[in-house]
Amino acid sequence: MRRIMVTGSVLLALAGLLGARPPAAVALPLRLADTGGGSQLITAVAPSASSTTGTVRWWSLRAGRWVAAGSAPARFGASGLAEGASRKQGTYTTPTGLYDLPFAFGIKAAPPGTRYPYRRVGDRSWWCQDNAARSYNRWVEPRPADCRAAEAEHLITYPAQYARALVVGFNYDRPVRGRGAGIFLHVNGRGATAGCVSVPAAAMDRILAWADPVRRPHLAIGTRSGPTAVTRY
């Protein structure tokens, strides 16, 4: 009888352990190889490299802990995601990697609370994507002669997408011709993007009101696992 009682006690203890709540999951920023060194981070994660949808979350570092400040459904390139370091222009893929956010822009005025440098889009505002142009992967105003209109985006012609946006620093500081140009975090259009990350308009407004350039926010883009896992960047 004593042996049976002891065994029962052990079983009850094991049941208690198994029924205990699991420890809280480690916050995604802590699992990344790099967060950019700032105290704000945006993550854009897709289920797989072929996905055109996923989730954007924005995080703040407070007292040494990364805390989620918000989230929204995200859209990616019509052809999914591709490794940023080897991506090719015109493939309709969203480049994976960790990127800074140089400045914000929009056809509409900046939402209340915006601290980021914000450029208003006008009739003469273009983003040059011409590989032969000196201003490749740059905002130009007006469009220079060596940047062909067929190889540039006339920003004002995208009233929904570019109502408000953040420039993503992909291939920006030292542009590699043929790698890709004009990658933004912007408002949703009708469907998947041409390579950008997009979110609903209300979420874009919240991100702009939250983002503080003094806190050096970065954007990490990737998949849940595999060669383009967001945790690699």
144-198 tens-digit pLDDT: 999 999 999 999 999 999 999 999 999 999 999 999 999 999 999 999 999 999 9
Q: How far apart are CA 171 and CA 128, in angstroms?
A: 13
Q: What is the DSSP letter of 84?
A: G
Q: How far apart are CA 77 and CA 11, in angstroms?
A: 52
- In single-letter form, the type of residue at position 218 comes to H
pLDDT class of 87 with cuts at 50, 70, 90: very high
pLDDT (mean) for 97-110: 98
pLDDT at 50 over 60: yes
pLDDT at 6 over 60: no
Share of the chain above pLDDT 90, in %: 89
pLDDT at 209 over 80: yes
pLDDT (mean) for 90-105: 98
pLDDT (mean) for 40-49: 98
Residue with tokens 């072929």: 50
> pTM of the full predicted structure?
0.90
Whole-number CA gyration radius for the chain: 22
pLDDT class of 19 with cuts at 50, 70, 90: very low
pLDDT of 24: 52
- Cα-Cα-Cα-Cα dihedral sign, residues 71, 112, 61, 40: positive
The mean of the pLDDT values for the chain is: 92
Q: Is the distance from CB of 143 to CB of 128 less than 8 angstroms?
A: yes
- Strands 53-62 and 65-75, by their bridges, are antiparallel
Q: What is the DSSP letter of 207?
A: H
pLDDT of 132: 98
pLDDT class of 25 with cuts at 50, 70, 90: confident
